[in-house]
Amino acid sequence: MLQSLGPAREDKIIALMQAFRADPRTDKVDLGVGVYKDASGNTPIFAAVKQAEEQLWQEQGTKGYTALLGNADYIAAMQALTLGDAVPAERLTAAQAVGGTGALRTLFQLVLSADPEARFWISDPSWPNHAAILEAMGAPWQSYRYFDRTTRMVDVEGMHADLADIGPHDVVVLHGCCHNPTGANLTAADWAALTAHFAATGATPLIDIAYQGFGDGLEEDAAGLRTMAAGVPQLLIAASCSKNFGVYRDRVGCAIVLAETQAIRDRVAGALTAINRTYFSFTPDHGAAVVAKVLTDPALRQSWETELKAMRTRMLALREGLADALRRETNSDRFDFLAAHRGMFSLLGATPEQLAELKERDGIYIVGDSRVNVAGLPEDGLPALARALVSAGV
């Protein structure tokens, strides 16, 4: 049986990480990995997370199971973090999930359980795992235009043209903020227009919000999501705490559902319970308990928000610094989009040949679609990086 298995599809990002680790050069630069890094190249643990873990160690009296839907305090805190008071609580239900990836898988399964004819729409480009998860589930999907590779901003006209004929069987995956991999975000007007379109067509938005707090602020990054939640009958949210709490390996996610009525919400809660039961029975609690404690303890929350703001402002400064260095190097404004984008990523627009040259000649590692991790930019090496990019013809 097992000998009939074919080779697995290579994950290009993982392969790039392995190549970077094997490179003996001391001045190499990793702009490919999708995690936040500080100035020393470390992915730090938030002080509030450390303190919450210590408190849990002191206070926790059992390692018994939580509920099938997960940690109730965590779920309530995540609903408040993402939605605020945009919608009535009686229309909401949620399930704790194993990271943002698990939240997406849960919501995709929920949709297919409710509507086997459902069709999913994913932005072009998007996080590769969106399509990979759906393909693993045998679910149909199509792409919609999102990124204008000339202006390096959102292709609003193309997006609306591709989504013009969506209807009740369609689920449209949107990035809540800090679009991965482009860094180009929807404006408030774009969110309002899409909300009206979904309300009129009966299509369902699924918002993947993996970077809340990494763009313009916790409230600002959720503004579009909240606009849409207030204007459509149903909405799905896949939330992740990996980035904004730094708990990558603890796999802390949440699948949130806004239902049209309380009766539908109750049926959804039953379906989510059944999905969790067959996927992993009970979700791991440690990371969720930590996040819940941080979000509900005023002192811990203040500490977390302060540290998160420092990360955000550092990334904004790096964006502006690289844009400035490239402006000086090229004597043009063609890289100014870097300062306008938000979040950890932007697409440089480099060709595979240019990326190969940067890797071999300069030890600069960038993913094949030219996505750069802004948090990995060398703070004291931006002029040298700009020279290398221009020398390679980017």
Per-residue pLDDT tens digits for 205-234: 999 999 999 999 999 999 999 999 999 999
Residue 8 has pLDDT above 90, yes or no: no
Residue 12 has pLDDT above 80, yes or no: no
Identified catalytic residue from 243, 255, 285, 292: 243
Can you tell me the distance from the alpha carbon of 254 to that of 71, in angstroms, rounded to the nearest whole number?
10
pTM of the model as a whole: 0.95
Mean pLDDT of 286-302: 98
Query: Is 132 one of the annotated active-site residues of the chain?
Result: no
If you count them, how many residues does the chain have?
A: 394
* C-alpha neighbours within 13 Å on the C-beta side of residue 368: 8
What per-residue confidence (pLDDT) applies to 15?
84
Identified catalytic residue from 30, 155, 208, 285: 208
Mean pLDDT of 100-108: 98
Mean pLDDT of 72-76: 98
Residue 371: φ, ψ to 5° = -75, 125
Identified catalytic residue from 118, 184, 210, 388: 210
Residue 312 has pLDDT above 90, yes or no: yes
What per-residue confidence (pLDDT) applies to 40?
84
Listed in sequence order, the residues at least 6 apart from 293 whose beta carbon sits closer than 8 Å to its beta carbon are 52, 55, 56, 300
In the predicted model, what is the mean pLDDT of the chain?
Answer: 95
HEC assignment per residue over the chain: CHHHCCCCCCCHHHHHHHHHHHCCCCCCEECCCCCCCCCCCCCCCCHHHHHHHHHHHHHCCCCCCCECCECHHHHHHHHHHHHCCCCCHHHEEEEEEEHHHHHHHHHHHHHHHHCCCCEEEEEECCCHHHHHHHHHHCCCEEEEECEECCCCEECHHHHHHHCCCCCCCEEEEEECCCCCCCCCCCCHHHHHHHHHHHHHHCCEEEEEECCCCCCCCHHHHCHHHHHHHHHCCCEEEEEECCCCCCCHHHCEEEEEEECCCHHHHHHHHHHHHHHHHHHCCCCCCHHHHHHHHHHHCHHHHHHHHHHHHHHHHHHHHHHHHHHHHHHHHHCCCCCCHHHHCCCCEEECCCCHHHHHHHHHHHCEECCCCCEEEHHHCCCCCHHHHHHHHHHCCC
Query: Is 114 one of the annotated active-site residues of the chain?
Result: no
Residue 153 has pLDDT above 80, yes or no: yes
Residue 175: φ, ψ to 5° = -90, 125
Question: How much of the chain exceeds pLDDT 70, in percent?
Answer: 100
Residue 13 pLDDT level (bands cut at 50, 70, 90): confident
Identified catalytic residue from 121, 127, 141, 191: 127
Residue 11 has pLDDT above 80, yes or no: no
The answer to whether residues 283 and 96 touch, using CB atoms and an 8 Å cutoff, is yes
Mean pLDDT of 32-38: 87
Can you tell me the distance from the alpha carbon of 48 to that of 168, in angstroms, rounded to the nearest whole number?
43
What per-residue confidence (pLDDT) applies to 10?
74
Query: Is 141 one of the annotated active-site residues of the chain?
Result: no
Query: Is 243 one of the annotated active-site residues of the chain?
Result: yes
Which has the higher per-residue pLDDT, 388 or 11?
388
Residue 17 pLDDT level (bands cut at 50, 70, 90): confident
Residue 9 has pLDDT above 80, yes or no: no
Mean pLDDT of 175-194: 97
Residue 333 has pLDDT above 80, yes or no: yes
